[in-house]
Amino acid sequence: MRRFKTTVVGAGNVGSTLAQRLVEKQLTDVVLIDRVTDRGEGKTLDLLQSAPILGFDTKIIGADDYGPTEGSDIVVITAGFPRKPGMSRDDLLKTNMEVVQEVTENIVRHSPEAIIIVVTNPLDAMCHVVKKVSGFPKNRVFGMAGILDTARFRTFIAMELNVSVDNIHAFVLGGHGDTMVPVPRYSTVAGIPIPELLSQDRIDALVERTRNGGAEIVALLKTGSAYYAPSAATVEMIEAIMVDKKKILPCSALCEGEYSIDGVFVGVPCKLGKDGIEEIVDVRLANPELAALHRSAELVREQIVTVDRFMAEAAAAKAPKKKEPSPAKG
């Protein structure tokens, strides 16, 4: 029986922790690739040497080129740069667009049937880049964000009520950023909607903390950003695809009319199975909730317009210049 194969592009904290979780769970063979020479190989060798202790036999390969990724079933893109002091959002968009564009071109060349999961930020805009460059159908290009945002909301609800996280289901929509849309009405504790258990002031505080969940961690770490929860969220997506779970999870998906949104990647509930996104679940939202989701989608659309401009400028710069005709003699 052929082993399932996953490529993780980027051996930073998110990518290497994701590779660790996958091999320790023995879910899939893994290729960990990084443009920094030997970093992928070094981290995979370290992981391999933990196998006799933890008892896993999963195959893992480190590389700095795409040859070993050939024929991957899933490719996860974590490669990119964090936003640094003094860097504008447009600077980050352009820098990571260039990284993701190059990665996607290599994925298409070596794994044309792969499902691509995007983790690089700004996530929703990077999903657009991957879709545009790859030409893959929309069920095979989507982003990890909603599971992470939902996990943060669930964590804060559990802390507030002093109950198990297993009791909590939450619902977070929208772009991955300040405009995400937690929906308390659909968030429950053992089936009980949280508005029945918490005051509106406390709910508002939990919603705000969820929206700032990534920034809170960055501020505490001083250097670097979250990677334990993002890697765990990506594992949940990969497992749903591998075993054809038909699990409904919030993903950044290309909406084409769902929620009255068209042509934008945004966080919505999706059914994940062996073919990737098998269905976008179009849930009925109240007017304020839908309006908040539309505002979030419009901000993503603005990023997409900027990305498309950068991509057009880059393509024009690479295009061969026409030779000016020689002046006539005589």
Active site residues: 176
Identify the CA nearest to 145 among candidates 267, 262, 248: 267
CA separation, residue 6 to residues 85, 97, 134, 205 (Å): 34, 22, 18, 38
Q: Are 237 and 144 in contact (CB under 8 A)?
A: yes
Pairing of strands 276-280, 188-189: unpaired
Under DSSP, is residue 73 helix (H, G, I), strand (E, B) or coil? coil
Rounded CA separation 67/77 (Å) = 16
Angle at 262 between CA 248 and CA 148, to 5 degrees: 35
Q: What is the 3-state secondary structure (H, E, C) of 140-188?
A: HEEECCHHHHHHHHHHHHHHHHCCCHHHEECCEEECCCCCCEECHHHCE
The letter for the amino acid at 118 is V
Tally of CB atoms within 10 A around 136: 19
Rounded CA separation 165/162 (Å) = 9
CA separation, residue 54 to residues 5, 20, 61, 130 (Å): 21, 11, 18, 36
Under DSSP, is residue 325 helix (H, G, I), strand (E, B) or coil? coil
Q: What is the Cβ-side half-sphere exposure of residue 162, based on CA atoms within 13 angstroms?
A: 0
Q: What is the Cβ-side half-sphere exposure of residue 254, based on CA atoms within 13 angstroms?
A: 21
Q: Are 110 and 72 in contact (CB under 8 A)?
A: yes
